[in-house]
């Protein structure tokens, strides 16, 4: 069973409130880290988490799912900040890259809204299970590897690699991380009234009073020269200084589309995972609408955008959060942290949050993958590995899913082509009847066509579709070609026992193809497909 660490549980106000507070604590370092990746101030990432979290929790399609600033979006939009700043430097406008960022995020939001309006969210159902397994495994590995960055100093430049902390500090952080994991695992055996993750963060934070260990405040100081976390509500940030010439339009539109697709795919995949964990069902189209609206407002108020966060969503579910209130509490608590509680948040040890994320990795990884070797078809294992490797090495979740779906589709087409059967017998009056079994489509038409040889058949041939279906234009075209070949040889071929759907398909294509439909015998009962 997927995510054996998580069990089906009905939420309540108390669980949602405590879980929301836990998630809010975990959102702070993540938002700061993703801000560094995008090359923007930590406040940009934090307010993005507020807008995304509150709007999607209130109006999204998946109660219990947490949205905020994410690494996938940060990687995509970083090019806008970089290229916009370069243009701004040439024109004497400082931080023009921020306006490029805001414009791109707003456009991405509009694209996501259109995606929801057109009800394209349903296409997530086409994602095969091997792709899903590869996705979660790759994401778990990415989350795991990302935690090792917490054992380094913040880099001087976004995207650079910082230096490792001193050895004694790494050992101390590792011990505190293990203690955090132990509390998360064992505390529920004592009581489940309070989320074990929240207890672990509080206990390790209190214990750190006796040790000099790295805190959130240290991360802020290294990365941005500030050790405080405070700020007012952001003003409107309409991108008024952008000159909309050809290169600028292409840059912003292409980046906005990429951000929109990455956000939709990651959000809908996370939605489906939580559906499986909680044995409930979310609404993908509604989630697209909420994500789009949240991203538009995020850009309008100076945010970097984002999407669903699988790590924080799993923390929420693990802590008992099931309803919309958990996400709302997380967002409101984050506002309080930013406005008045920053002095406390910056004292949380980084090691505690690393331990939390390690437990998220354990809960995210699909351990049943290790038992698939030799038990499932090799092509499914290949798809799992391909999606996992693309996710890990390219950090491109959208590309990984697209490649996985395409590979699965090609494998399905190849395997389905093998399941078309064509048997034959002759009647007393010299008519040869071919009994076709399976689906006639682009992958199987060649083998079917090669089996139909006019020189080897009598003057009249019937193809019986009682156990077969016509699926696409390729199948119509091959039926037309076979009919023409037999007609050129002075012979006649006709179809019988077509289902109503197949008959309608052939009738609609009658101006393009010419086939003859024989009269069915009285005993035939058509199957509606």
The SS3 of residue 349 is strand
User: For residue 3, which of 395, 275, 201, 269 has the smallest C-alpha distance?
Assistant: 275
The SS3 of residue 339 is helix
Per-residue pLDDT of 445-473, as tens digits, reads 888 898 899 999 999 999 999 888 888 88
Per-residue pLDDT of 56-73, as tens digits, reads 999 998 998 999 988 778
Element (H, E) at 29: helix 13-38
pLDDT of residue 49: 93
Q: Phi/psi class of residue 48: alpha, beta or left (left: φ > 0; alpha: ψ in -120 to 50)?
A: alpha
pLDDT of residue 226: 59
Whole-angstrom distance, CA of residue 81 vs CA of residue 75 = 11
- Delimit the domains of the chain by residue range: 17-406, 421-508
Mean pLDDT of the chain: 84
Q: Which CATH fold topology does 421-508 show?
A: Transcription Regulator spoIIAA (3.30.750)
Confidence of residue 7 (pLDDT cuts 50, 70, 90): very low
The answer to whether the CB of 170 falls within 8 A of the CB of 157 is no
Residue with tokens 């079994």: 437
User: For residue 226, which of 32, 47, 31, 24 has the smallest C-alpha distance?
Assistant: 32
**Angle 124-130-131 from CA coordinates, rounded to 5°:** 45
Per-residue pLDDT of 361-411, as tens digits, reads 887 788 888 888 778 888 889 999 999 999 888 877 778 888 998 999 888
pLDDT of residue 163: 83
Q: Across 189-203, 304-318, 359-373, which has the greatest mean pLDDT?
A: 304-318
pLDDT of residue 2: 37
Show the tokens assigned to 342: 């920053």
The answer to whether the CB of 398 falls within 8 A of the CB of 261 is yes
3-class SS string, 470-525: ECCHHHHHHHHHHHHHHHHCCCEEEEECCCHHHHHHHHHCCCCCCCCECCCCCCCC
Whole-angstrom distance, CA of residue 490 vs CA of residue 460 = 10
Show the tokens assigned to 194: 């309070």
Average pLDDT score over residue span 293-316: 90
3-class SS string, 407-444: HHHHHHHHHHHCCCEEEEEECCCCCEEEEEEEEECCCC
Q: What is the DSSP-derived secondary structure letter of residue 211?
A: S
Cα 243 to chain centroid distance, Å, stands at: 34
pLDDT of residue 510: 81
Q: What is the DSSP-derived secondary structure letter of residue 468?
A: E
Least confident of 120-134, 327-341, 451-465, 483-497: 120-134
Average pLDDT score over residue span 118-134: 80
- Phi, psi angles (nearest 5°) of residue 373: -60, 125
Q: What are the residues facing 423 on neighbouring strands? A: 435
pLDDT of residue 515: 86
Whole-angstrom distance, CA of residue 440 vs CA of residue 462 = 16
Least confident of 44-58, 240-254, 395-409: 395-409
User: For residue 290, which of 328, 253, 344 has the smallest C-alpha distance?
Assistant: 328
Show the tokens assigned to 186: 């064992």
Confidence of residue 492 (pLDDT cuts 50, 70, 90): very high
Whole-angstrom distance, CA of residue 165 vs CA of residue 349 = 14
Confidence of residue 174 (pLDDT cuts 50, 70, 90): very high
The answer to whether the CB of 352 falls within 8 A of the CB of 204 is yes
Whole-angstrom distance, CA of residue 35 vs CA of residue 41 = 6
The answer to whether the CB of 348 falls within 8 A of the CB of 217 is no
The dihedral built from the CA positions of residue 354, 356, 358 and 364, taken in this order, carries a sign that is negative
pLDDT of residue 345: 74
pLDDT of residue 4: 41
Whole-angstrom distance, CA of residue 430 vs CA of residue 434 = 13
pLDDT of residue 524: 64
The dihedral built from the CA positions of residue 182, 187, 188 and 193, taken in this order, carries a sign that is negative
**Comparison of pLDDT for 125 and 149, the residue scoring more:** 149
Element (H, E) at 466: strand 460-470
Whole-angstrom distance, CA of residue 27 vs CA of residue 330 = 8
Element (H, E) at 460: strand 460-470
Confidence of residue 8 (pLDDT cuts 50, 70, 90): very low
User: To the nearest whole percent, how much of the chain has pLDDT over 70?
Assistant: 91
Does the pLDDT of residue 128 top 80, yes or no? yes
The answer to whether the CB of 384 falls within 8 A of the CB of 370 is no
pLDDT of residue 446: 87
pLDDT of residue 48: 93
């Amino acid at each position: 069973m997927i995510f054996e660490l998580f069990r089906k549980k009905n939420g309540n106000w108390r669980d949602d409130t405590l879980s929301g507070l836990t998630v809010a604590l975990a959102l702070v370092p993540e938002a700061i880290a993703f801000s560094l990746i995008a090359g923007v101030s930590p406040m940009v990432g934090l307010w993005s988490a507020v807008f995304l979290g509150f709007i999607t929790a209130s109006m999204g399609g998946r109660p219990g799912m947490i949205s905020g600033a994410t690494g996938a979006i940060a990687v995509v939009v970083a090019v806008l900040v970089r290229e916009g700043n370069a243009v701004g430097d040439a024109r004497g406008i400082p931080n023009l890259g921020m306006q490029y960022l805001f414009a791109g995020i707003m456009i991405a939001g509009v694209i996501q809204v259109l995606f929801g309006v057109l009800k394209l969210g349903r296409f997530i159902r086409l994602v095969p299970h091997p792709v899903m397994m590869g996705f979660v495994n790759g994401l778990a590995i990415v989350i795991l590897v990302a935690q090792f960055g917490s054992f380094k100093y913040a880099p001087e430049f976004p995207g650079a690699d910082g230096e490792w902390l001193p050895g004694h500090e790494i050992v101390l952080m590792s011990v505190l991380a293990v203690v955090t994991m132990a509390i998360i695992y064992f505390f529920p055996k004592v009581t489940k009234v309070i989320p074990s993750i929240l207890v672990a963060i509080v206990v390790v934070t209190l214990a750190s009073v006796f040790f000099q260990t790295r805190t959130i405040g240290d991360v802020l100081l290294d990365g941005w020269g500030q050790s405080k976390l405070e700020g007012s509500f952001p003003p409107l940030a309409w991108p008024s200084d952008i000159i909309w010439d050809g290169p600028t339009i292409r840059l912003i539109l292409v980046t906005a589309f990429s951000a929109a697709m990455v956000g939709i795919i990651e959000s809908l995949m996370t939605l489906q995972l939580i559906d499986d964990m909680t044995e409930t069902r979310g609404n993908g189209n509604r989630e697209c609408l909420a994500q789009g609206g949240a991203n538009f407002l995020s850009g309008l108020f100076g945010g970097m955008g984002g999407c669903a966060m699988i790590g924080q969503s799993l923390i929420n579910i693990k802590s008992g959060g099931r309803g919309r209130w958990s996400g709302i509490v997380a967002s409101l608590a984050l506002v309080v942290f930013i406005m008045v509680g920053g002095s406390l948040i910056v004292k949380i040890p980084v090691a505690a949050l690393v331990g939390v994320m390690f437990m998220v990795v354990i809960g995210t990884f699909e351990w049943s993958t290790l038992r698939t070797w030799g038990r499932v078809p090799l092509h499914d294992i290949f798809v799992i590995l391909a999606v996992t490797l693309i996710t890990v090495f390219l950090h491109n979740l959208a590309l990984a899913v697209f490649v996985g779906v395409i590979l699965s589709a090609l494998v399905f087409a190849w395997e389905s082509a093998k399941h078309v059967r064509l048997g034959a017998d002759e009647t007393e009056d010299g008519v040869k009847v071919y009994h076709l079994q399976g689906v006639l489509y682009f992958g199987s038409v060649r083998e079917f066509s090669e089996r139909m040889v006019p020189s080897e058949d009598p003057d009249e041939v019937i193809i019986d579709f009682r156990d077969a279906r016509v699926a696409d234009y390729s199948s119509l075209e091959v039926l037309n070609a076979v009919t023409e070949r037999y007609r050129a040889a002075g012979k006649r071929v006709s179809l019988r026992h077509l289902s109503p759907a197949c008959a309608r398909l052939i009738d609609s294509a009658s101006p393009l193809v010419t086939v003859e439909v024989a009269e069915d015998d009285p005993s035939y009962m058509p199957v509606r497909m």
